[in-house]
A = this chain, B = another copy of it.
Amino acid sequence: LNGGALERLIQILARLPGLGPRSARRAALQLVKKRETALLPLATALEEVARTVRPCRICGNLCEAELCAICADPEREGSQICVVEDVEDLWALERAGAFKGRYHVLGGTLSALDGIGPDKLAIGPLLARLREGGVQEVILALGATVDGQTTAYYIADRLTELPVAVTRLAHGVPVGGELDYLDEGTLTAAFKARRSL
């Protein structure tokens, strides 16, 4: 019906989270109609993100410099590291404002089903950070899913040799839920009631 390029754009848009085939069609048509104010700015923003956005060398957060704003901020408490699965979760915790320490992004969870072993996550870099010293507490802010909890126990086990306290978020995180979906009150409460693992 429509041209090949437009069809391709619709198919690519339909794979984005939150967009289905119908909304992808509407989005593509709106982009074509608003070429100067929507399509070209989106193309430019994508190119800019592709060129400039990269993981922070220390924690794995996304940034446009070598270090993210959190790792570069001398005000953040260096003695606490909060371990999260993904950048979404880091952003959710930052929105809650409950934590003033630093982060470590694993890049996922262990998963036997998906064949994700410890070497595919940033667990080695976490151990290296901890061996440099100065960290007193590692907070495992992983989802209350089977994979999240498996990952938390695996990391806690690897950390027993190091002189750090290992805590996890208090239950309050709904079982089976993901951090990114929680309201800020629940995240704050879970942070405050964290306990030794």
Binding site for B on A (CB under 8 A): 1-6, 8-9, 12-13, 15-20, 23-32, 35, 38-43, 45-53, 61-65, 69, 86-88, 91, 94, 180
Contact = CB atoms under 8 A, between A and B. Distances in A.
A113 to B, nearest CB: 19
B18 A23 contact: yes
A62 to B, nearest CB: 6
A41 B29 CA distance: 18
Given A2-B87, A43-B46, 10 more contacts: A9-B48, A12-B42, A12-B45, A16-B30, A16-B31, A18-B23, A26-B88, A28-B49, A31-B46, A32-B53
Nearest to A1: B94
A25 B64 contact: no
21 contacts: A2-B62, A2-B91, A5-B51, A5-B53, A6-B62, A9-B45, A12-B38, A12-B41, A13-B42, A16-B31, A18-B19, A18-B20, A18-B23, A19-B27, A25-B88, A25-B91, A29-B86, A32-B53, A39-B49, A40-B50, A43-B50
